[in-house]
Structure 1
């Protein structure tokens, strides 16, 4: 983790979040044009989802009272009871396809880890779009035109992923809020974490500006996988993309809930415009 100072040379006046990458409204304390901007990367602020902490105040009281090694268990138990994850009939389920009732927050995150362009990936990208106002830029294919077939295919996958679930997007609200709670407990005043991604070419990303000397301003997808291990990133591409990600944009990380993600030191980070560095292995 690193401190609150902005990276030297951050070109905050040279790029902003393109209009077609954001919605005019969201369910967050900051609008998408702010939280998705390059300036936010250098000077991050706390992000809170509307009403989540207030609605689930009892959870956070329990977390405060729990020892560190029991907090994940407290969270999972709360989710199971609050959303009746083991008793779908109590929530009005009357269908035959009980497999859909298992499509909870854990299944969504695991599905993403196997394939970010899967049905579960579409649900997570749709959740980011709804809560933070950042539109997805890629899901199996580029998503640039909301009227194009590619975007409608993404919407169809998202709808299929949500069908028959018990308020899975509300479950994801709590995952994000709990993640932020843990990051503050563990890292104090730190505001960024340096994350890495193996890539074969920078052209695979939306480049907003080439700053020279291996530095670029890029527009990330609205949700992205990174690793905190540079060595691990080396296994996935010929070049290493490094980015200082605001902690407030971390949705989930390996180890937050033991057993959900296996290995790779994976982080799921909310996107927007960022300055990155590209280097060889």
Structure 2
């Protein structure tokens, strides 16, 4: 990974995360107004969802003793299967002898893969609502703008998110632990780093909410509360006429392609928690 040598520390930050983009409470160690700010991008600290590392302390102690990342990934998946009874739906509360709803099979892996195929689908709505709950960052877009809270698009987003969680087995808690494991692996693999440089292909900068133009090719933008990026600039070329380059705090990486086998469809895909970011725009 590359660390950012171009993040500017000599300029005062712009106005913080707008009130319309955040909730007053969340379930992690920093409020949304801080973790969603440009200051956090410049000076990140670890983010922890309340209680997750303590509840699963035994898992992380076990992982500490495993030097091989592939073995750790397998142990983590085994732990998820056992802890959440993913192969025993009756033990998790599904009524025996009845036709099981398809959603009982939903799990963290299916959800993330669904995001990879269509971030505006049902799985995307579940993930964006999870970010709202855990980090307090409100979704800005889902198959259309969500800025009009009483609008049809927003109501459809709420419906899809609720429908995606219905009759599932502690799906949001599964995501909590996936994020904690992702942060564990990033910290273990890159103990001296705070950022990763990521790219995204776009057609127009006004596809994003611009808060301020810093200089000719740099903008301060408000990203959706969950976003896909890639580590490969050449890969980003395939998705737009311009390249959005951003230094993402490792603390804001929800998951990435190499975290678990087959987790994401895209090569070197990273799923990133949003907020205010300074970005650089370049041509192909």
Structure-2 separation of matches of 1:88 and 1:214: 52
Superposed CA deviations along residues 2-39 of structure 1, whole A, max 9, x for unmatched, are 44877126754223101000000000000000000001
**Match in the other structure for 1:29:** 29
Structure-2 separation of matches of 1:224 and 1:96: 36
**Match in the other structure for 2:80:** 79
**Match in the other structure for 1:51:** 51
**Structure 2 residues not aligned, in runs of 5+:** none
Superposed CA deviations along residues 198-232 of structure 1, whole A, max 9, x for unmatched, are 00000111111112311101000000000000000
Instruction: Count matched residues.
Output: 281
**Structure 1 residues not aligned, in runs of 5+:** none
The 1:10/1:135 distance shift into structure 2, 3 A limit, reads: farther
TM-score (norm 2): 0.95
Matching residue within 119, 123, 128 for 2:126:
123
**Match in the other structure for 1:203:** 206
**Match in the other structure for 1:107:** 110
Structure-2 separation of matches of 1:25 and 1:4: 30
**Match in the other structure for 2:16:** 16
**Match in the other structure for 2:165:** 162
Q: 1:3, 1:189 within 8 Å by CA — same for their partners in 2?
A: no
The 1:143/1:116 distance shift into structure 2, 3 A limit, reads: same
TM-score (norm 1): 0.96
1:218 matched to 2:221? The reply is yes
Structure-2 separation of matches of 1:82 and 1:201: 45
Structure-2 separation of matches of 1:51 and 1:252: 19
1:141 matched to 2:138? The reply is no
What is the aligned-residue RMSD (CA, Å)? Answer: 1.4
Q: 2:199, 2:243 within 8 Å by CA — same for their partners in 1?
A: yes
Superposed CA deviations along residues 53-102 of structure 1, whole A, max 9, x for unmatched, are 00111111111122323000000000000000011011110252342111
